[in-house]
Structure 1
């Protein structure tokens, strides 16, 4: 589990996060949602340690992350997997080399053991045999799956995903959502996803954190969304007429 305790973050005179206290649960897909400028990306960067809070604490289980020294922080970061918005694959490396990169950086495995781990991760994301391909030779959805394979190759305890469905068609987005959810459950990972995708919210939102103007505006599950009377949530989620009709139909069914 990861939790925040009264997190504030300012850049010069601009206060971006204003007292965020919340929890992200182990074995759950935890989503951070909100309009552009709400503070989602800043919060995600704080959680992963790319930024430090102006005040407040981030806890990894029972560990106060920002109270650690550099070596201790590095040990925590070795337990973190990261899926970037644009996959962030190295164009000059093959699929295998991209996935193997964290193992080359942080593990003491032999080359044979690294290749076995790569093959295991490729099988898990349904890309068996793609080892020798370059990123330019595979589709955007396949690149995203390679990014997931790289993110889990060190068997992380914590997985961070920044807009994992960005640039993908709806069908491929569903595949990526289901893959992230299934891996989260299988490996009992604390997964945190920054997303604008309302399908992700409704399909895999085990624990949803809504930010509004730097504050925690609402928290609940995907099952709570349709029944919530929180005005900020309704304004964000049901901006689409289609979703408004979906909500109204659900309320009529009782």
Structure 2
């Protein structure tokens, strides 16, 4: 579990985050949604320690993340997996080398142990046998799955996903959502997903947090989205007349 308490963030005179308090639960798909400029990326960077909050606290399962020293912070970061928006694979490395990279950097595992772990992670994302291929030789969806495999290779307790479905077709996006969701449930990971994908919101959104103008405007679950009267949520999710019509039909059927 990760808990944010009264997070504020300013850049010079501009206040980007305003009193954000959220609990991200273990074993759940915790989503952060909102329009561009709402503060999602800044919040994600603060959660992983790339930015410091102007004020406020972040707790990782009882540990005050904002007050850890360098050694403690490095230890905790070994428990964090990150899936980047563009997969961020190394073009000059094979799939196996990309997935193995965190273990090469931060563990003393034997070559055999690393190989076994790589193969296990490839199996988890349904990509067995592509160890020796390069990123340029596989599709964008497969690259994203390799990114997921690398993000879980260190057996993280916390998984951060930045726009995991960016640039993917709808069918592949569903596959990625299911993989992330299944891994979250199976391994009881605290998963935080920054997304614009409404399919993700409505399919895997266990806990949904809407940011609007730097504030937490709405919280709820996927089952509560269609019934919500939040003006900010309705404006964000049902922006088009077609989607607003679908929402009206869904409410009539409740």
- Taking structure 2 as the reference length, what is the TM-score of the superposition? 0.99
Residue 113 of structure 1: aligned partner: 113
Residues 1:23 and 2:30 are matched in the alignment? no
Quick one: distance in 2 between partners of 1:246 and 1:84? Answer: 32
In structure 1, distance between residues paired with 2:154 and 2:223: 33
Q: Check if 1:182 corresponds to 2:182.
A: yes
Question: Residue 208 of structure 1 corresponds to which residue in structure 2?
Answer: 208
Pairing 1:168-247 to 2, within 5 Å after superposition: 168-247=168-247
Which residue of structure 1 lines up, in the alignment, with residue 53 of structure 2? 53
- Distance in 1, Cα, partners of 2:7 & 2:248: 36
**Alpha-carbon distance between aligned partners in 2 of 1:213 and 1:5, rounded to the nearest angstrom:** 18
* TM superposition shift of 1:247: 1.1
Cα distance in 1 for partners of 2:68, 2:94 equals: 36
Q: How does 1:40-189 map to 2 (within 5 A)?
A: 40-189=40-189
For residue 66 of structure 1, report the CA deviation from its aligned partner: 1.1
Structure 1 runs not aligned, ≥5 long: none
Deviation digits for residues 183-228 of structure 1, max 9, x if unmatched?
Answer: 0000000000000001100000000000000000000001010001
TM-score, length basis structure 1 = 0.99
Partner of 1:44, secondary structure, is: helix
Cα drift, residue 244 of structure 1: 1.3
Partner of 1:6 in structure 2?
Answer: 6
CA shift at 1:249, angstroms?
1.3
Give the paired residue count: 254
Give the C-alpha shift of residue 5 in structure 1.
0.4
TM-fit CA distance, 1:242: 2.9
CA–CA distance in structure 2, aligned partners of residues 106 and 163 of structure 1 = 26
Tell me how far 1:241 sits from its aligned partner: 2.5
| Structure 1 residue 142 displacement after superposition | 0.1
Paired residue for 2:249?
249
- Stretch of structure 1 that moved more, 238-247 or 124-133: 238-247
CA distance in 1, matches of 2:72, 2:66: 10
Unpaired segments of 5 or more residues in structure 2?
Answer: none
Match of 1:89, SS state, is coil
C-alpha separation in 2, matches of 1:67 and 1:74: 13
Deviations 1:13-57 (A, max 9, x none): 111000101111100000000000000000000001111000000
